[in-house]
Chains A and B, each alone.
Chain A
Amino acid sequence: MSIVTVQLGQCGNQIGFEVFDALFNDSHCSRGLCSKRENEAYQASCKERFFSEEENGVPVARAVLVDMEPKVINQTLSKAACSGRWKYGQHSCFCQKQGSGNNWAYGYSVHGPRHEESIMNLIRKEVEKCESLSGFFIIMSMAGGTGSGLGAFVTQNLQDQYSSALKMNQIIWPYGTGEVIVQNYNSILTLSHLYRSSDALLVHENDAVHKICVKLMNIKQVSFCDINQVLAHQLGSVFQPTYSGEGLFHYRRNPLGDLMENLVPHPEFKMLGVRNIPQMSENSLAYSTFTWAGLLKHLRQMLISNAKMEEGIDWQVRPPLSGLPPLGKMSVNKETHFNTSIANLVILRGKDVQSADVGAFKDPALYTSWLEPVHAFSVWKTQRAFRKYEKSAALVSNSQSLVKPLDMIVGKAWNMFASRAYLHQYTKFGIEEEDFLDSFTLLEQGRCGTR
């Protein structure tokens, strides 16, 4: 089943290109560590999901590119075409000459309705090319104007027109010390609108990925390209094909549906985070060996201590003993916050994957009281290695890890709102104070539930 990607704004388009590149390169990687037939099945599955076939054999990404400025889209199209291995469709991009000026209201109330028909037409053409549609994958940022405002509008439209298809929004959480003054306003408006119309929100924080680039990949000058590549690696390790179930050897047809079924059935808890291990530069890869036990132990501790990478993990954080309330509630140990999860999904790729033991993740102490590990935890496996990593593991979790960043953003936005700063830019385009208040209320509800 196919996934149609909608790339919105500068951020969305750049990330989208990296994601397709990573997926394509992985599926055509020579060192798959599995039989030829298996490799072909893997390739075919990946191809069917993300690419469509064109006459001269070059795969065309199933994507719609939308931006209000032509510069980034042209760059993306040319980069894809230059590689010669895959490309974007010629008529699947939409751009205008005028940007959104980082104004959420402009993107939502002006650009949205004005260009609604053209954008939805492009999406419909892409959907018609699919034999069967699994869902939409919408890549956008939260802080900018086009990505966030137009993204919220497009997601709402998709909810209306394709109500039976699943929608996953890939959101880029802005830097804590970001350049855009109104990024907090944009963020809360985006989040509240997406909570209503999207099925799952997969969040990547710029700060965290930046640290990964610096510490693990040893990159001195981190550019957006490096950040996007790390992001694409994480997404690729989630969406590449995996086996349908225990003991089965054919690939899963609907990963998006299965992921959502396991992680986001509850309407109030839709935000997901991704962690993966190992993550290192290609030079170091040749000198490293891994064991499943070590990888899984680190991954578990990353989850519990809310670390985003395998370096600098706080090993002091322990799950609470059964019967006692989690440590976070006690006022004494405020620093050691234990990260309770609602649901987790572990994806294992590589050699001897059948021997990997995920029992440590089934510990009831990791999860909330109202959901048992048998419902909350699932694991996907495949023998085929991902991108030259002999063994790799990814963890998609619906947990408390985003509570703190969300608190920060809401706090800052509230302060700005209380002093009526920059509100005129929004009210000018139809976003009134009531809308802001609605957004705050919705996010408060979500936060209370997550505690």
Chain B
Amino acid sequence: MGRRRLRRPDPADAARALPEAIAALSRTLPAAPSPETFRRAKFDHPEAAPALWRLLFRVLSPLPADGASASLALEAQARWVKSALRSQGYPRRALVQLPDDGSQGGRELLLALAWLLARGPLPERLLTQSHVRLGDEIPVCECEALASPGLPAPSVEAEGCVDIRHLQWLMGKLRLQWRNLMASQQEQCALLGKIHSYTRGCHSDRSLGHLSVTETELLRDPEGGRQLLRRLEMENAQLEAALEWRHRELIFWQWMDTVLDACSPEASPLTFLPRIPEPGPGAARLLARELQTLQEELREAAEARRAAWQAVVGGHGPEWRAARRALQTAVAQDLAALQRAWEQDEGRARPHGPRRLARSLGETGPVSPKAGAQETGKKKTTNKRNSFVLPGQLFLSCHLWLFFTEVLFFRTRGLWDFSSLSRDQTCTPCTGRSSWQHVGSSVFPAARRTRAHALGARSLSRWTSREALLSIFITTVRVCVKTAPWVCCVLRSAFPPVSLISYLGFVSLPRVPPVASLQQQTLSE
């Protein structure tokens, strides 16, 4: 053991650190050149320039690389890179002055790349673009990122006059192609819906519940699975390289400082006035002079107007200042209110970017309206089977009405006597007075038996007689309702007292309307 000796930084380590950092960067960026090329670019070697032009083109183009863009000539790529950098606000003019054939300017290109890296998380953005997508995705947001300036289109020279019929033909073709595209998209939605519903329950992730097209292909075709694996491994390697790059960035920036020092300093800061061309022969010289005088006049006029405005605005009395202050506070309040309203909207997490389609159970999900109509059509037929069950409220109100009429009826007849019922459990001979009791008692023993069998735990002796009666009523009614609701209706019309039973039964049923309970049963089948 000994005390830990402080490891002195190894000079060899320091020498290795920079190439490793640049290597990490080139592994992260798509189609990036080797660290050796970066080193050559610092010293402005000509062979480094084309590779860097291509890298910048690949990095700046908004869409992932495809065959069309890759096959553009170096000259076209260089021109496009210059215009793209200019539109993003790149300040150095030396880049614009580089020749279009892409043979020179390694150092300037290196500076441009560093500028892009410094502006935002460039490697991460590129990795997001080329991310391997496993789910079926649709773009949800409508933000401007999708509508960015595209790649240069091949320019078609119009030779002479164009026949209007040809234009009409092309317009009509475009319109028909749009319609075909819409129809194809609808078809794609319908087919995706089918795949999602067929593979329900297959996914290990419960929240998704079904497979996407990629995942289904994976199961069907092992070769496709291997290719997907390779792509995922490549993406993993790129992500690791990006992490490594983030650790080692500092050395790269220190090196870029040296590159910047090696460059010649820029002549003057960028002004926003248009560049006055060099006076050329004759008319051009005249034009240049006129432009210069115009510029001078504009500057003077602007100064004069500013001074006048200050004079008008600045020198008023206290009431003007008070009015201005009140106006300012009112505007500030309005702005705060607006911002609060926006923040509430923002709080709802407006979706951004593509979202994975997932079909939830029990819903029709994001499918085309026609498939949706099919689904709802099927649902409608299942609901039709339950349609003869009356809505619970209607039933209750009918029975309430009937209950009160029965109360009046039986009370006048003297048949209503709960207490006598509770005492008299045995069968009595059927007389006019106790006909209800007879009906009730013929039902009771059977019901009591079932109830007793059903609840083994509770002994009957613990029940009061009234409680037992009520529970028997409820059981009978529940049995009737669950098996054949129409039995209740028939019985109701045949035996008025039974309506009382069913009323009691409904009162004590769980608080779910019968329609929904049956529906739940069908859905869970």
A residues engaging B (CB < 8 A)? 1, 127-128, 130-134, 164-166, 199, 253-254, 257-258, 260-261, 264-268, 368-371, 375, 449
- The secondary structure that dominates the A interface is loop
- Smallest CB gap from A134: residue in B: B183
Q: Which residues of chain B from 342 to 386 have a CB within 8 Å of any chain A CB?
A: 368, 370-371, 373-374, 377
Q: Does B186 contact A (CB under 8 A)?
A: yes
- In this complex, what residue of A is CB-closest to B182? A164
Known: A127-B370, A266-B168. A132 touches B176 (CB 8 A): no
B180 and A258 contacting across the interface, CB-CB below 8 Å? yes
Q: Which of B180, B186, B370 has the most A CB atoms < 10 Å from its CB?
A: B180
B373/A128 in contact, CB under 8 A:
yes
Q: What class of interface size applies to chain B in its complex with A?
A: 20 to 34
Is there an interface contact between B163 and A261, defined as CB atoms closer than 8 Å?
A: no
Closest A-chain residue to B166, C-beta based?
Answer: A370
Interface residues of B (CB under 8 A from A): 163, 165-166, 168-173, 175-177, 179-180, 182-184, 186-187, 190-191, 194, 368, 370-371, 373-374, 377
Cβ contacts under 8 Å, A166 to chain B: 176, 179
Question: In the bound complex, what is the Cα–Cα distance between A261 and B340 (angstroms)?
Answer: 51
CB-defined contacts of A369 to chain B, threshold 8 Å: 163
**A257-B176, A264-B176, A370-B169 are known contacts; what are 14 more A-B pairs with Cβ within 8 Å?**
A128-B374, A128-B377, A131-B187, A131-B194, A132-B190, A165-B183, A253-B187, A254-B180, A254-B183, A257-B179, A260-B176, A265-B175, A268-B168, A370-B163
Cα distance A264–B170 when bound, in Å?
11
Are A133 and B183 closer than 8 Å at their CB atoms? yes
Smallest Cβ distance from A165 to chain B, in angstroms? 8
Residues of B within 8 A of A132 (CB): 183, 186-187, 190, 368, 370
* Given A128-B370, A128-B374, A261 and B173 contact (CB-CB distance below 8 Å): yes
Please state if B166 and A371 are interface contacts (CB–CB under 8 Å). yes
Complex: A134 Cα to B176 Cα, angstroms? 12
Bound form: Cα–Cα A154–B343 in Å = 52
A370-B167 Cα distance, complex, nearest whole Å = 9
Known: A131-B187, A133-B370. A257 touches B169 (CB 8 A): no
Q: Please determine whether B172 and A265 come into contact, CB atoms closer than 8 angstroms.
A: yes
Residue of B nearest to A127 (CB): B370
In the assembled complex, the Cα of A132 lies from the Cα of B173 at a distance in Å of 22
Q: Is the CB of B169 within 8 A of A265?
A: yes
How close is A250's CB to chain B, nearest CB, in angstroms? 14
A254 to B180 Cα, complex, angstroms = 8
A127 to B374, CA, bound (A): 11
Q: How far is the CB of A148 from chain B (nearest CB, A)?
A: 26
Complex interface: chain A residues within 8 A of B173 (CB): 261, 265
For this complex, 28 residue pairs linking A to B, each with C-beta atoms less than 8 Å apart, are: A128-B377, A131-B191, A131-B370, A132-B183, A132-B187, A132-B190, A132-B370, A134-B183, A164-B179, A164-B182, A166-B179, A254-B180, A257-B176, A257-B179, A257-B180, A257-B183, A264-B176, A265-B168, A265-B171, A265-B175, A266-B165, A266-B169, A267-B172, A268-B168, A369-B163, A370-B163, A375-B169, A449-B165
CB distance A164 to B183 under 8 Å? yes
Cα(A266)–Cα(B166), bound, Å: 9
* CB-CB nearest 3 A-B residue pairs: A265-B172, A132-B187, A370-B163
Question: Which residues of the other chain, B, contact A199 by a CB distance below 8 angstroms?
Answer: 176
- Cβ contacts under 8 Å, B176 to chain A: 166, 199, 257, 260-261, 264-265
**Complex Cα–Cα for A258 and B166 (A):** 19
Q: CA separation between A135 and B377, bound complex, in Å?
A: 23
For B165, give the chain A residue with the smallest CB separation.
A370
Give the residue name and chain of the A residue nearest to B367 (CB): A131
Closest Cβ neighbor of B172 among chain A residues: A265
Query: CB-CB < 8 A to A127: which residues of B?
Result: 370
CA distance A268 to B166 in the complex (A): 12
Contact of B180 among A133, A261, A368 (CB under 8 A): A261
Contact yes or no, B184 A254, CB < 8 A: yes
C-alpha spacing A133/B169, complex, angstroms: 25
B190 interface neighbour in A131, A257, A449, Cβ under 8 Å:
A131
> Which chain A residue shows the least CB distance to B194?
A131
Most buried by A among B168, B182, B371: B168
> In the complex the two chains form, what is the Cα distance from A372 to B517 in whole Å?
68
A439 to B169, CA, bound (A): 24
Contact residues in B for A371 (Cβ distance below 8 Å)? 165-166, 169
Name the distance in Å between B181's Cβ and chain A's nearest Cβ.
9
Chain A residues near B172 (CB-CB < 8 A): 264-267
Is B190 a contact of A267 with CB atoms below 8 Å? Answer: no
Kindly identify which residue among B168, B179, B187 contacts A267, using a CB–CB cutoff of 8 Å. B168
Bound-complex Cα distance A134 to B370 (A): 13
Residues of chain A within 8 A of B370, CB atoms compared:
127-128, 130-133
* Chain B residues in 8 Å Cβ range of A134: 183
Residue of B nearest to A268 (CB): B168
- Nearest CB in chain B to that of A259: its residue: B176
B169 touches A1 (CB 8 A): no
Q: How far is the CA of A212 from the CA of B171 in the complex (A)?
A: 38
Q: Can you name the residue of chain B whose Cβ is closest to the Cβ of A370?
A: B163
Chain A residues with CB under 8 Å of B184's CB are 253-254
**Residue of B whose beta carbon sits closest to that of A128:** B373
What's the Cα separation between A133 and B180 when bound, in Å?
11
Is B183 a contact partner of A1 (Cβ separation < 8 A)? yes
> In the complex, what distance in Å separates the CA atom of A83 from the CA atom of B468?
68
Closest residue on chain A to residue B186 by CB atoms: A132
Once bound together, how far apart are the Cα atoms of A127 and B190, in whole Å?
A: 14
Contacts of B194 in A (CB 8 A): 131
- Bound form: Cα–Cα A375–B179 in Å: 19
Q: For A268, what are the chain B residues with a Cβ–Cβ distance below 8 Å? A: 168
Residue of chain A at shortest CB distance from B176: A261
Q: Which residues of A contact B170 (CB under 8 A)?
A: 265
Identity of the chain A residue whose Cβ is nearest the Cβ of B163 in the assembled complex: A370
**What separation, in Å, do the CA atoms of A397 and B226 have in the docked complex?**
47
Report B-chain residues with C-beta under 8 Å of the C-beta of A265.
Answer: 168-173, 175-176
Bound Cα distance from A134 to B179, whole angstroms: 10
- Give the shortest distance, in Å, between A251 (CB) and chain B (any CB): 14
- Which residues of chain B have C-beta atoms less than 8 A from A254's C-beta? 180, 183-184
A292 to B177, CA, bound (A): 31
Central interface residue in B166, B176, B191, by most chain A CB within 10 Å = B176
CA distance A368 to B190 in the complex (A): 41
Question: Which B residues lie within 8 Å of A133 (CB)?
Answer: 183, 186, 370
